[in-house]
Structure 1
Amino acid sequence: MKKLPLFLKHYCKNLAQRLILYFFFILLLIPFHENAGQSISFSLSGRVVDEQEAPLQAIVSIHELGKSVIPNENGFFEFQDLKPGNYHVHVTHIGFKSFSKTIHILNGDFFLEVGLVESEILLNSMTVEANPFKNGPLEQSQTILILDRDFIQKNNGGTFANAIEKLPGISTINTGVGISKPVIRGMSFNRIMINDRGIKQEGQQWGADHGLEIDPFDVDRVEIIKGPASLIYGSDGMAGVINIAPAAFKQNGEIEGHYSGMYRSNNDMISHSIFVDGNQDDFVFRARFTAQDFSDYRVPAQNFIYAGFLLPIFENRLKNTAGKERHFSFTGGVQKKWGYSTLTVSGFNQQAGIFAGAVGIPNSYNLRHDGDHRNIDIPRQDNQHYKVIWNNNIQFGKFWMELDLGYQRNQRKEFSFPHTQGVGPNNFGNLALSLNLDVLTANLRLNQQHGENGQSILGFNLQHSLNQHRGFEFLLPNFQSIMGGIFYFREQRLSENLVWNGGIRADGAAHDIEEHLQPIYVRFQPTGEFDQRNPDIKRNFLNMSGSTGLSWVIKENLNVKFNIGSAYRIPTPIELASNGVHHGNFRHEIGNSELLAERSYQADLNLALSKKKLYVSFSPFFGYFDNFIYLAPAPRFSPLPGSSLLWEYRQNNAIFTGGEIMMQLAITKGLNLSIGAEYVHNLNLDTGLPLPLTPPFSTLTGLEYKIPKFSNSIENLYLFVESRWAAAQNRVDRNERITEGFQIWEAGLGWDLQIWENSLQLQLSGQNLTNAIYFNHLSRYRLLNLPEQGRNISFSINIPIGIR
Structure 2
Amino acid sequence: MKKYIIALILGFSAMLQAQNTVSGTVTDMNKQPVSGVSVYVPELHKGTITDGNGKYSLANLPDGKVKLSFSYIGFITENRKIEGIQKENTLDVVIEETVFHMNEVIVSTAFNKIQSQNVMKVEHETIKELQQKGTATLVEGLATIPGVSQVSTGTSIGKPVIRGLSGNRVLVYSQGVRIENQQFGSEHGLGLNDSGIESVEVIKGPASLLYGSDALGGVLYFNPEKFADANTFQANVSQKFFSNTQGSNTSLGLKTSSDNWKFLARGSYNTHADYKIKDGDRVTNTRYNETDFKTGIGYSNSKFSSVLRYNYNALDLGIPEEGIGEQSTNKNPDFPKQGVFNHLLSLNNIVYFAKSKLDVDLGYISNNRKEFEESNDPSLDMDLNTFNYNAKYYLPQFGRFETILGVQGMHQTNTNSGEEYLIPDATTNDFGVFGMVNYQWKSNVIQAGLRFDSRNINSLAHEADDHDDHADHDGHEHHGGEFDALNRSFNSFNASLGYKTNLAEPLTMRVNVATGFRAPNLAELTSNGVHHGTNRFEVGNANLKTEQNIQTDLNLEYSNSHFEFFVNGFYNHINDYIYTSPTGTQIDANDVFEYIQDDARLYGGEIGLHFHPHPLDWLHYETSFESVTGKKQSRSGGSDYLPLIPANNWNNTIRTEFDIKNWLAEGFASISVNTTLNQNKVSGFETSSSGYTLVNLGFGGTVKLGETVFDVSLNGNNLFDKSYIAHLSRLKTDGIPNIGRNIVLGVNFDL
The answer to whether the superposition gives a TM-score over 0.5 is yes
Task: Find the partner of 1:678 among 608, 626, 631.
Answer: 626
Residues 556/230 of structure 1: CA separation in 2 closer, same or farther (3 Å cut)? same
Contact residue 527 and residue 539 of structure 2 kept, 8 A: yes
Aligned to 1:715: 665
Distance 2:731 2:582 in 1: 18
**Is 1:759 paired with 2:709?**
yes
Task: Find the partner of 1:656 among 598, 602, 613.
Answer: 602
Equivalences, count: 733
Aligned to 1:629: 578
**Is 1:324 paired with 2:289?**
yes
Task: Find the partner of 2:447 among 496, 501, 509.
Answer: 501
Q: After the TM superposition, which residues 481-496 of structure 1 pair with which residues of structure 2 at under 5 Å, given as runs?
A: 481-493=428-440, 495-496=441-442
**Is 1:548 paired with 2:481?**
no
Aligned to 2:475: none
What is the deviation of 1:712?
Answer: 1.4
Distance 1:797 1:517 in 2: 55
Contact residue 155 and residue 164 of structure 1 kept, 8 A: no
Aligned to 1:238: 216
Task: Find the partner of 2:59 among 52, 61, 80.
Answer: 80
Deviations 1:358-381 (A, max 9, x none): 7xxxxxxxx642655334211111
Q: After the TM superposition, which residues 401-440 of structure 1 pair with which residues of structure 2 at under 5 Å, given as runs?
A: 401-417=358-374, 431-440=378-387
Contact residue 134 and residue 714 of structure 2 kept, 8 A: no
Aligned to 1:305: none
What is the deviation of 1:163?
Answer: 1.4
Aligned to 2:528: 579
Aligned to 1:6: none
What is the deviation of 1:488?
Answer: 0.7
What is the deviation of 1:125?
Answer: 4.3
Contact residue 234 and residue 485 of structure 1 kept, 8 A: yes
What is the deviation of 1:796?
Answer: 0.7
* TM-score scaled by length of structure 2: 0.93
Contact residue 34 and residue 338 of structure 1 kept, 8 A: no
Residues 337/73 of structure 1: CA separation in 2 closer, same or farther (3 Å cut)? same
**Is 1:92 paired with 2:39?**
no
Deviations 1:21-49 (A, max 9, x none): xxxxxxx9998875344676433234433
Alignment partner of 1:689: what SS?
A: strand
Contact residue 358 and residue 392 of structure 2 kept, 8 A: yes
**Is 1:104 paired with 2:52?**
no
One-letter amino acid matched to 1:455 = E
Contact residue 189 and residue 205 of structure 1 kept, 8 A: yes
One-letter amino acid matched to 1:205 = Q
140-149 vs 226-235, which deviates more?
Answer: 140-149
Residues 128/738 of structure 1: CA separation in 2 closer, same or farther (3 Å cut)? same
Q: Which blocks of at least 5 consecutive residues in structure 1 are unaligned?
A: 1-27, 302-314, 359-366, 418-427
What is the deviation of 1:651?
Answer: 0.9
Distance 1:299 1:540 in 2: 48
**Is 1:335 paired with 2:300?**
yes
Task: Find the partner of 2:144 among 153, 158, 166.
Answer: 166
Alignment partner of 2:577: what SS?
A: strand
Aligned to 1:607: 556
Aligned to 2:566: 617
What is the deviation of 1:96?
Answer: 2.8
Aligned to 2:473: none
Distance 1:633 1:29 in 2: 71
Contact residue 339 and residue 394 of structure 1 kept, 8 A: yes
Aligned to 1:704: 655
Aligned to 2:355: 398
Residues 335/38 of structure 1: CA separation in 2 closer, same or farther (3 Å cut)? closer
One-letter amino acid matched to 1:620 = G
Residues 43/351 of structure 1: CA separation in 2 closer, same or farther (3 Å cut)? same
**Is 1:56 paired with 2:56?**
no
Aligned to 2:516: 567
Residues 730/55 of structure 1: CA separation in 2 closer, same or farther (3 Å cut)? same
Deviations 1:317-359 (A, max 9, x none): 111111111111121232322232122222110111111337x
Contact residue 275 and residue 286 of structure 1 kept, 8 A: yes
Residues 272/256 of structure 1: CA separation in 2 closer, same or farther (3 Å cut)? same
Alignment partner of 1:574: what SS?
A: helix
Residues 42/377 of structure 1: CA separation in 2 closer, same or farther (3 Å cut)? closer
What is the deviation of 1:401?
Answer: 1.6
RMSD: 2.5
Residues 258/588 of structure 1: CA separation in 2 closer, same or farther (3 Å cut)? farther
Deviations 1:300-330 (A, max 9, x none): 25xxxxxxxxxxxxx6111111111111112
Distance 1:609 1:748 in 2: 28
Residues 269/32 of structure 1: CA separation in 2 closer, same or farther (3 Å cut)? farther
One-letter amino acid matched to 2:412 = S
Distance 2:552 2:665 in 1: 45
Aligned to 2:234: 256
Residues 97/30 of structure 1: CA separation in 2 closer, same or farther (3 Å cut)? farther
One-letter amino acid matched to 2:387 = L
Contact residue 65 and residue 337 of structure 1 kept, 8 A: no
Aligned to 2:193: 215
Deviations 1:29-70 (A, max 9, x none): 998875344676433234433444443343222222122222
Distance 1:603 1:114 in 2: 38
Aligned to 1:538: 487
Residues 511/156 of structure 1: CA separation in 2 closer, same or farther (3 Å cut)? farther
Contact residue 133 and residue 698 of structure 2 kept, 8 A: no
What is the deviation of 1:103?
Answer: 2.2
**Is 1:456 paired with 2:403?**
yes
Contact residue 721 and residue 748 of structure 1 kept, 8 A: yes
Distance 2:8 2:524 in 1: 43
What is the deviation of 1:106?
Answer: 4.7
Contact residue 520 and residue 530 of structure 1 kept, 8 A: no
Task: Find the partner of 1:282 among 252, 256, 260.
Answer: 260
Aligned to 1:779: 729
Contact residue 562 and residue 612 of structure 2 kept, 8 A: yes
Distance 2:8 2:621 in 1: 50
Contact residue 575 and residue 599 of structure 2 kept, 8 A: yes
**Is 1:177 paired with 2:155?**
yes
Residues 554/400 of structure 1: CA separation in 2 closer, same or farther (3 Å cut)? same
What is the deviation of 1:297?
Answer: 0.9
What is the deviation of 1:461?
Answer: 0.8
Distance 2:12 2:402 in 1: 24
Deviations 1:548-573 (A, max 9, x none): 10111222321111110111111111
Residues 637/100 of structure 1: CA separation in 2 closer, same or farther (3 Å cut)? farther
One-letter amino acid matched to 2:735 = N
Alignment partner of 1:729: what SS?
A: coil
**Is 1:591 paired with 2:570?**
no
Task: Find the partner of 2:682 among 732, 738, 742.
Answer: 732
Contact residue 255 and residue 278 of structure 1 kept, 8 A: yes
Distance 1:335 1:756 in 2: 39
Task: Find the partner of 2:464 among 518, 537, 542.
Answer: 518
One-letter amino acid matched to 1:762 = V
Contact residue 387 and residue 408 of structure 1 kept, 8 A: yes
Distance 2:370 2:530 in 1: 15
586-595 vs 168-177, which deviates more?
Answer: 586-595
Distance 2:11 2:610 in 1: 47
One-letter amino acid matched to 1:322 = R
Residues 522/32 of structure 1: CA separation in 2 closer, same or farther (3 Å cut)? closer
Alignment partner of 1:157: what SS?
A: coil
Residues 33/56 of structure 1: CA separation in 2 closer, same or farther (3 Å cut)? farther
What is the deviation of 1:81?
Answer: 3.7
Contact residue 474 and residue 579 of structure 1 kept, 8 A: no
Aligned to 1:441: 388
Residues 283/758 of structure 1: CA separation in 2 closer, same or farther (3 Å cut)? farther
What is the deviation of 1:638?
Answer: 4.2
Residues 261/585 of structure 1: CA separation in 2 closer, same or farther (3 Å cut)? farther
Alignment partner of 1:576: what SS?
A: helix
Deviations 1:480-534 (A, max 9, x none): 10001111111111x211011111111111000111212246999xxxx994622
Distance 2:410 2:398 in 1: 34
Q: Which blocks of at least 5 consecutive residues in structure 2 are unaligned?
A: 1-5, 471-477
